[in-house]
Structure 1
Amino acid sequence: MQIAIYSRGFVKEDLPIIQLLLDELQREEIDTIIYDPFFRALEPHIKFGKDPVTFAQSEDLYGKADILVSLGGDGTLLDTVCYVRDKNIPVLGINFGRLGFLASIGKGAIYAAVQALKQRTYIVDKRALLHLDSNVGLFGDVPYALNDFTIHKKDTSAMVKIHTYLNGEFLNTYWADGLIVATPTGSTGYSLSCGGPVVFPEAGSFVITPVAPHNLNVRPIIVPDNHVISFEVEGRSDQFLCTLDSRMETIDNTVQLAIKKESFSLSLVRLDDSNFLHTLRNKLLWGIDARNTLK
């Protein structure tokens, strides 16, 4: 077995956990292939049993990595979509960040995670991706996202008008700071903070959530993910922002945009003692109420 390791970076306090992970993988005779910039940052601080193989781009992983381990928060795990792409390399997230909906395995579970990898006792969930079509080739050869797509006003410019269509039929014109189209996975991200609903990961749907809408009767809406959602954008500014997860492009009102479900999915690894309901209770503190403990 060979495990790829990806991270954006580290803080000094995380070095003992990273060392523990590498030591446990070596003890179990699991080979590693480490993201090259991360390896170079670690090299002065970490003892490697042997010189690890490194990767710098997605092609370096194909046929070499059985699983990719993400060390960081949810943003770090979202980056891995650009590396695993459509090759169905499962991703396991170890949470070095804060909330951690996607990277749900805590620092204290390193040993359990390595044992699950070694014995292949983990569970793989399929997570739907969304795909962006545009007339100007936005986001290169990775025009898809795990969490969400957004259109947003730029800087402190005035609100924008986003004419939105479902399968070519007019839905609404959103007068707002922006608009989010979230997958079920992304429903607990930016969309949730803007008043969108929590959606189960296996639900076949998209959530359309306005950002600070000027019309107070406009609310988030859930639509089937077999629909194509297209947009026309207007505003006083000549430029707007367009994002896929944490990646951003600047566009103008001549750009044509449409969202649909991607033809492939992301395989997300979890340990068998964790599931979506467990994550909701722990991350959103559902059920944590003093009245539940009263006799």
Structure 2
Amino acid sequence: MSLRIAFAASHAPIAQSAKAGLTRRYGDHAEDGADVIVALGGDGFMLDTLHRTQELNAPVYGMNRGTVGFLMNEYSDHRLEDRLAEAEEAVINPLSMTAETRDGRSHRALAINEVSLLRAGPQAAQLRIIVDDKVRMSELVCDGALVSTPAGSTAYNYSAHGPILPIGSDVLALTAVAAFRPRRWRGALLPKSAEVLFEVIDPEKRPVMAEADSRAVRDVVRVTVRSEPSIAHRVLFDPGHGLEERLIREQFV
């Protein structure tokens, strides 16, 4: 029995062209009735697809029609059904962000890669970090800070000199972005069950924005971050090229 494949593509012409060719060859099913969803684009489009289809049962298999493509497989229009049947599955739990703003509103969002707080003005941010109701850092003066999942640890977290986390590890990375005080603090490793609360000190003078996978909330005063085990994103990779292998390989380049 043939797999029921749903194709999704970014707006990039190269992705749209790939979708047209694959659809002619393999057909195209509705996402809510598909056995697997094939996402054509880059990592950003892959994240959007995972967020958009998180209520569906079908796993997502990405093929790179973008740039870096860390979450994607190599593109080919040959043997797609065989590749899908042989693919290895990785399960990713996203982060849940609750951001409270100066006007008293609360904003919620999910992040597969990371939740980040970034200064939104000319002066450095001042943050207080509370982990599981205990103040761990009374003042962090910085350009920002972030909490990353293992899947996202090679993205912004790695650029900010945070650690690469094995995909199966039950830990989160808490990483500073350009820390000024304490100057040498590079972050911490936390258990996956930890709840991290950032409090913004002097938010009027030193405004801060929060982002969950590029979903931005401005003028935040408190941001709570925790893992969301009730949501499981299923991502497929070609054998020998899964997230665990990619995360290890990134540490030797």
Q: TM-score category by the smaller chain? A: 0.7 to 0.9
The offset of 1:86, in angstroms, is 3.8
Pair 1:199 & 2:165 matched:
yes
Secondary structure of the equivalent of 1:68? strand
Which residue does 2:128 correspond to in 1? Answer: 163
The offset of 1:115, in angstroms, is 2.6
The offset of 1:185, in angstroms, is 0.5
Contact 2:118 2:144 in 1 (8 A): yes
The offset of 1:71, in angstroms, is 1.1
The offset of 1:222, in angstroms, is 0.8
Q: 1:218 aligns with which of 171, 174, 185?
A: 185
Instruction: Rate the CA distance shift 1:5–1:249 in 2: closer, same or farther, 3 A.
Output: farther
The offset of 1:7, in angstroms, is 2.8
Secondary structure of the equivalent of 1:138? strand
Which residue does 1:76 correspond to in 2? Answer: 45
Which residue does 2:67 correspond to in 1? Answer: 98
What RMSD in Å do the two structures reach over aligned CA positions? 2.3
Distance 1:270 1:90 in 2: 11
Distance 2:91 2:10 in 1: 24
Does 1 or 2 have the higher relative contact order (CA < 8 Å, sep 6+)? 2
Contact 2:90 2:235 in 1 (8 A): yes
What TM-score results when the alignment is normalised by the length of structure 2? Answer: 0.86
Pair 1:138 & 2:107 matched:
yes
Which residue does 1:230 correspond to in 2? Answer: 197
Percent identity between matched residues is 22
The higher radius of gyration belongs to: 1
Distance 1:15 1:186 in 2: 26
Q: 1:243 aligns with which of 192, 199, 211?
A: 211
Instruction: Rate the CA distance shift 1:259–1:252 in 2: closer, same or farther, 3 A.
Output: closer
Pair 1:269 & 2:202 matched:
no
Which residue does 1:42 correspond to in 2? Answer: none
Distance 1:24 1:273 in 2: 26
Q: Is the helix fraction higher in 1 or 2?
A: 1
Instruction: Rate the CA distance shift 1:285–1:231 in 2: closer, same or farther, 3 A.
Output: closer
Amino acid at match of 2:40: L
Distance 1:191 1:238 in 2: 23
Instruction: Rate the CA distance shift 1:14–1:267 in 2: closer, same or farther, 3 A.
Output: closer
Which residue does 1:6 correspond to in 2? Answer: 8
Contact 2:7 2:23 in 1 (8 A): no
Distance 1:217 1:286 in 2: 24
Instruction: Rate the CA distance shift 1:112–1:273 in 2: closer, same or farther, 3 A.
Output: farther
Which residue does 2:18 correspond to in 1? Answer: 17
Distance 2:149 2:18 in 1: 32
What TM-score results when the alignment is normalised by the length of structure 1? Answer: 0.75
Amino acid at match of 2:175: T
Where does the alignment leave 5 or more consecutive residues of structure 2 unmatched? none
Pair 1:87 & 2:52 matched:
no
Where does the alignment leave 5 or more consecutive residues of structure 1 unmatched? 34-60, 288-295
Contact 2:115 2:148 in 1 (8 A): yes
Contact 2:125 2:207 in 1 (8 A): no
Amino acid at match of 2:93: A
